Amino acid sequence: MINDPLQHIVQPHPQEVPVRLDALPIGLQEDGQVYRLPLLGSHVLLVGATGAGKSSVLWSMVDQLAPAITDGTVEIWGIDPKAMELAAGEPLFTCLAYTGPADYASTLEGAVVIMRERQASLRGVTRLHQPSPAEPLIVILIDELAALAYVNERDLRRRIENALGLLLSQGRVVGVTVVGAIQDPRKDVLPDRDLFPVRVALRLSESEQIHLVLGPGARDRGARCDQIPHSLPGVGYVQIDGIAEPVRIRFAHVTDDHIRTLAAGWRPPSSMPDIEDAAA
């Protein structure tokens, strides 16, 4: 495509303070405008083949959330079955589960407890939780959703499925958001995919997968995810419930050095050194 701005690597957008949780600037649209992702009050499903650039999506979100992590209005909880993708930015996370299914189940169940407490306190008060240092937006990043579905132990798999289903069906309005990445969008691997209001499809292996991720007719409306070349990682289409047309964008490329800088410069309040101790 001639003069396509998505042919070039997109650098991370300058961080904004205060962070706009309803409009995170994490990429570039094909019309040259900054793409802003609505994270507050939503869940995000990210699907892409190996090498399609899923890490660009995850880390561009973390990059833009960093100031809110430090001021306490956002907490990031991570589930990283490969124990590789999220480790570089571990200081940014309130908790990071990577040791196995029991760890994943406990993390998700902990979020359900907070969700229940907020439901009780916010019932009849508001229809959408507003993040604050007292009650931050909890963003649960799951690097590989399929690993949760393939747990062999029946009891642990049931606990994970129950907790994840509750969070996806009830969590977003009380400030618990799930961002899940996966390679295979089939129903037997991802039974709750319809509970994600925001869906991102990067390069996919088969045209039939576009329907599974973005919905009926998305490919006919231009979302040719199966034709995205390997040379354009981070390019994909975003479909948001209630908006007819998918948007073609390229997510910002966040390097390992950038992640290390983020982890060194931005921390949750609980992990920041005490000023008096630092002075001593």
The model carries a pTM of 0.93
pLDDT at 213: 93
Amino acid at 95: C
134: in domain: yes
Average pLDDT along the chain = 92
**pLDDT tens digits, 166-222:** 999 999 999 999 999 999 887 667 778 889 999 999 999 999 999 999 998 999 999
pLDDT at 190: 76
Tell me how far apart the terminal alpha carbons of the chain are, to the nearest angstrom: 59
CATH code: domain of residue 214:
3.40.50.300
158: in domain: yes
Residue 184: domain span = 41-266
Say how many domains are in the chain.
1
How many residues belong to the chain?
A: 280
Q: Sign of the C-alpha dihedral, residues 144, 75, 43, 28?
A: negative
12: in domain: no
Measured in whole angstroms, the distance separating CA 206 from the mean position of its chain's CA atoms is 23
215: in domain: yes
- The answer to whether the CB of 251 falls within 8 A of the CB of 201 is no
Q: Which among 207, 200, 193 is positioned nearest to 251, based on CA atoms?
A: 200
User: What Å distances lie between residue 7 and 32, 104, 111, 190, CA to CA?
Assistant: 11, 38, 39, 31
274: in domain: no
**pLDDT tens digits, 48-96:** 999 999 999 999 999 999 999 999 999 999 999 988 889 999 999 999 9
238: in domain: yes
